[in-house]
């Protein structure tokens, strides 16, 4: 009788163990299947983002290829997209990583919409200019009159279009200043009392320039023909520029007031005499002024 009870207990225990084993196996298989599905979904999402980025890259390639002189902003944006593509190819496929790349894609998409719209606008202007120049040439050939005058006008028009997308500065003023410990700045014409030289100007509004971080180069020349400040060099093509400082600012397509300060070298004071101030946009001189310290 006791043997029968033991046998029945053993059978029950084995049955329970079998049920637990089968349950664990089912749970493991289900978890494995879910994991594989998640991995598959993430891989598909990654491929979609990659396809979108490649589409954007092709759009930039087409826009750049349409211009004999490629737009610098388009080239830089195309390089950023290629960098994101390269990074995405070697990145881990997980939710956090994929979300980050999707956010970057959305940001680049907005940038592309703006740049391509600007590029289309410039293409339309260039097309209009080319048509205007061709029409002018036909009239010159037909009438052969006022040729010199029209040629000068067309060259001037081309120069205006070329320079239209360049940052410019207006109302350039410079002077010696006394700087109080409170931070108050007082203009002075005395070289011996000048703590710094202040240079102020207005960066004028230009809708053809992309908003964002911009810079202009300031060059201050003292009465002995020395360049004050950093006196560093920068090269643009075949031209080398020695500058006193780089004025960096956030440009928002509106008039912007800028003031910069130059200090003398340690233990030195400013010379008496005439000072010349230049403002450059890369190699192009966009403003000049002068002042005298007594």
Residues 209 and 276 in one domain: yes
Structural domain count, the chain: 2
d(CA 45, CA 37): 12
The answer on 17 and 112 residing in a single domain is yes
Domain harbouring 185, CATH code: 2.60.40.2560
Are residues 242 and 232 in contact, defined by beta-carbon separation less than 8 angstroms?
yes
Place 285 in a pLDDT band, splitting at 50, 70 and 90: very high
Q: Mean pLDDT score of the chain, rounded to an integer?
A: 77
Q: 131 versus 212: which is more confidently predicted?
A: 212
pLDDT at 7 exceeding the cut of 90: no
Percent of the chain predicted with pLDDT > 90: 35
175 has a pLDDT exceeding 90:
yes
Most confident of 25-39, 45-59, 112-126: 45-59
Handedness of CA 162, 164, 170, 172 (dihedral sign): negative
Residue 113 lies in a domain: yes
Same domain, 99 and 174: no
Same domain, 181 and 282: yes
Chain mean position to CA 7: 82
pLDDT of the residue at 76: 79
What residues make up the domain containing 73?
Answer: 2-117
> Is there a single domain that holds both residue 75 and residue 13?
yes
- 122 assigned to some structural domain: no
Is the pTM higher than 0.85?
no
CA–CA distances in Å: residue 235 to residues 113, 198, 232:
32, 26, 10
Number of Cβ within a 10 Å radius of residue 71 = 20
Most confident segment among 15-19, 48-52, 70-74, 162-166: 48-52
The SS3 assignment for 199 reads strand
Q: What is the mean predicted confidence (pLDDT) over 30-48?
A: 60
Among residues 29, 289, 6, 263, the alpha carbon closest in space to that of 170 is found at 289
Residue 116 — very low, low, confident or very high, per pLDDT cuts 50/70/90? confident
pLDDT band of 291, cuts 50, 70, 90: very high
Asked if residues 165 and 195 have their Cβ atoms less than 8 Å apart, the reply is no
> Do residues 112 and 173 both lie within one domain?
no
Average pLDDT over every residue of 103-125: 72
Does residue 67 belong to any structural domain of this protein? yes
Q: Mean per-residue pLDDT for 266-280? A: 91
| Cα three-residue angle 276-260-282, rounded to 5 degrees | 70
Q: Is residue 152 part of a domain?
A: no
Q: Are residue 174 and residue 282 in the same domain, yes or no?
A: yes
- 91 pLDDT more than 90: no
Question: Rounded CA gap, 164 and 155, in Å?
Answer: 14
Percent of all residues in the chain with a pLDDT value above 70, rounded to a whole number: 63
Shared domain for 274 and 196, answered yes or no, is yes
> SS3 for 275?
strand
Average pLDDT value for residue range 214-240 = 94
Residue 2, pLDDT above cutoff 80: no
Evaluate whether residue 8 is within a structural domain: yes
Q: Which range among 110-114, 156-160, 243-247 shows the weakest confidence by mean pLDDT?
A: 156-160
Q: Clarify whether residues 180 and 111 are in a common domain.
A: no
Q: Is 161 within a domain?
A: no
What is the reported pLDDT for 184? 93
> What's the rounded mean pLDDT across residues 153-165?
56
Q: Do 26 and 88 fall within a single domain?
A: yes
Predicted local distance difference test score (pLDDT) of residue 232: 94
Domain boundary pick from 74, 92, 117:
117
| In a domain? residue 125 | no
| Strand ranges of the sheet holding 284-293, from the earlier edge strand across to the other edge | 245-251, 212-221, 273-281, 284-293
pLDDT of 32? 44
Q: Are 246 and 231 in contact (CB under 8 A)?
A: no
pLDDT at residue number 27: 47
| pLDDT over 70 (residue 22) | no
Q: Do strands 284-293 and 273-281 pair parallel, antiparallel, or not at all (unpaired)?
A: antiparallel
Least confident of 3-17, 53-67, 181-195: 3-17
Q: Is residue 151 part of a domain?
A: no
For residues 20-46, average pLDDT: 57
Measure the CA–CA gap between 48 and 32, rounded to whole angstroms.
24
Whether residue 88 is found in the same domain as residue 201? no
Q: Are residues 109 and 35 in the same domain?
A: yes
| pLDDT for residue 146 is more than 60 | no
């Amino acid at each position: 009788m006791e043997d029968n009870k033991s046998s029945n207990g053993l059978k029950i225990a084995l049955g329970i163990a079998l049920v637990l084993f089968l349950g664990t196996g089912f749970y493991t298989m289900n978890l494995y299947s879910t994991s594989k599905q998640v991995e598959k979904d993430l891989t598909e999402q990654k491929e979609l983002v990659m396809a979108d980025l490649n589409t954007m890259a092709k759009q930039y390639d087409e826009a750049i290829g349409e211009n004999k002189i490629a737009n610098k902003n388009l080239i830089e944006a195309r390089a950023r997209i290629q960098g994101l593509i390269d990074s995405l190819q070697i990145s881990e496929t997980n939710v956090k990583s994929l979300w980050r790349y999707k956010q970057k894609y959305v940001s680049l998409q907005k940038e592309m919409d703006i740049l391509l719209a600007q590029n289309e606008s410039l293409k339309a202007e260039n097309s209009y200019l080319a048509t205007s120049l061709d029409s002018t040439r036909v009239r010159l050939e037909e009438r052969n009159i006022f040729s010199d005058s029209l040629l000068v006008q067309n060259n001037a028009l081309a120069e205006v279009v070329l320079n239209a997308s360049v940052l410019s500065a207006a109302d350039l003023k410079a002077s010696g200043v006394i700087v109080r410990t409170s931070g108050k700045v007082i203009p002075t014409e005395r070289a011996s009392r000048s703590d710094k030289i202040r240079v102020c100007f207005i960066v004028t509004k230009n809708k053809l320039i992309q908003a964002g971080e911009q810079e202009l180069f300031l060059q201050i020349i003292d009465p002995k023909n020395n360049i004050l400040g950093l006196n560093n060099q920068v090269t643009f093509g075949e031209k080398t520029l020695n500058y006193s400082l780089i004025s960096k600012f956030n440009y928002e397509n509106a008039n912007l007031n800028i003031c910069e300060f130059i200090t003398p070298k340690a233990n030195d004071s400013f010379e008496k005499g005439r000072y010349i101030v230049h403002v450059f946009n890369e190699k192009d001189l966009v403003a000049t002024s002068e002042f005298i310290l007594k």
